[in-house]
Amino acid sequence: MSAFDYLKERWITYSFLVFAFLFFLVVYDLDSSFRISESNARYIMAGWALIFICFVAIDYGMLNSRMKRMKNYCETNISVEGADDFFYPTDRDYAHIALKIFLENETFKAGMETKSAEEMEFITRWLHDVKVPISATKMILENHERELPGEFYENIYREIFSIEESIQRVFYEMKTNRFFDDYKITTVSTMKLIGQALKGYSNFFSYNKISISIEGEDAFVLTDEKWSAYILSQIISNGVKYSPYEGSLTISTSVHDNETTISIKNKGKGLLAKDIGQVFLKGYTSSENRAGMKATGYGLYLSKKLSDLLGHRLTAESTYNEYATFSLTFIEGKSLYNVTKM
């Protein structure tokens, strides 16, 4: 407690004391028959001043101690027994009020956690359930591919795949809230990660006549295979969306010192300079209305969030009207250290 706060707390007491001193001085000055020598009066005033200073020091110390004990009780030791241990009745009343608020808050939190768990269970079950009709629809569509006009088939397939991607994004966003209960750091081949990330995109390469090339050596990195493959799949999805017809996508792996980087480069319009610093923000989409599948601005945000949790580095670079490159860098020793430490 600061001295200013203490004076605000005790202003009535000190106002009364000052008024009492002033009253004594006025009576002494006006009443000529008041028989007390000037020296004695000074001694009395000096004694009162000393007593007053001692009172202020003791009162400040006691009040400050009471405040510290109350703060400690509220922050670390809220209990029925602790509330009854306070000496001053006012402090006991405040402690019981704090205890009541704490218990009500704990009850509210428990109720919210239960409700949240139930909602999460329902959404998770729904996500799994909805995958079945989506897969069935894709199978039916593929079985009748020759009977349907090419453009119609492609458009329907794109929309189904877009729904599937959105569901997967919701699923992974939910899982990030429990990330540290659902990760497994192992040594994984970069080629294996790339292969898993490419699953599901072969039709889009075919529809848009996009050529794909994989360059660089195979390397081994410490990471969570599932999460990293998902990050790469989102970058590939972004590259497919923003690649022009008959464009190209290059996936390369490079190793420098203790860093291994998987880069995904797509040729096309690329990114405006003002978009580079914001491309990983939640809900952010390009300043331009570029062609391709609809963008939500969520895939890259989620990829960045996951790479940070894993201790990896996700960056973007681009030259407008030429290319855009997204790079996921695995730093030897850092990923495992950061995840287990957190």
For 62-113, the DSSP string reads HHHHHHHHHHHHHHH---HHHHHT-SSHHHHHHHHHHHHHHHHHHHHHHHHH
Given this model, what pLDDT does residue 30 score? 66
Single-letter amino acid, residue 109: K
Q: Evaluate whether residue 119 is within a structural domain.
A: no
Alpha-carbon gap, residue 310 to 339, rounded angstroms: 6
Residue 245 lies in a domain: yes
Q: In this predicted structure, what is the pLDDT of residue 252?
A: 94
Task: Out of 77, 101, 129, pick the residue that ends a domain.
Answer: 77
Any domain includes 204: yes
| pTM, 2 dp | 0.60
Cα of 65 vs its chain's centroid, Å: 37
Are 217 and 333 within one domain?
yes
Residues 187 and 328 in one domain: yes
Residues 190 and 337 in one domain: yes
Residue 45 within a domain: yes
Residues 68 and 189 in one domain: no
- pLDDT, position 214: 92
Same domain, 202 and 56: no
CA 60 – CA 64 distance, rounded (Å): 6
CB atoms within 10 A of CB 69: 17
Find the CATH number of the domain harbouring 302. Answer: 3.30.565.10
Do both 190 and 315 map to the same domain?
yes
Residues of the chain whose pLDDT is less than 70?
Answer: 1, 27-36, 177-182, 285-297, 333-342
Last residue of one domain, picked from the residues 37, 56, 77: 77
Cα separation, 225 vs 180, in Å, equals 14
Range of the structural domain that residue 68 is part of: 3-77
Number of domains in the chain: 2
At which of 62, 77, 92 does a domain end? 77
Instruction: Decide if 287 is inside a domain.
Output: yes
> 185 and 59: one domain?
no
Looking at residue 296, its pLDDT comes to 56
- Asked if residue 114 belongs to a domain, the reply is no
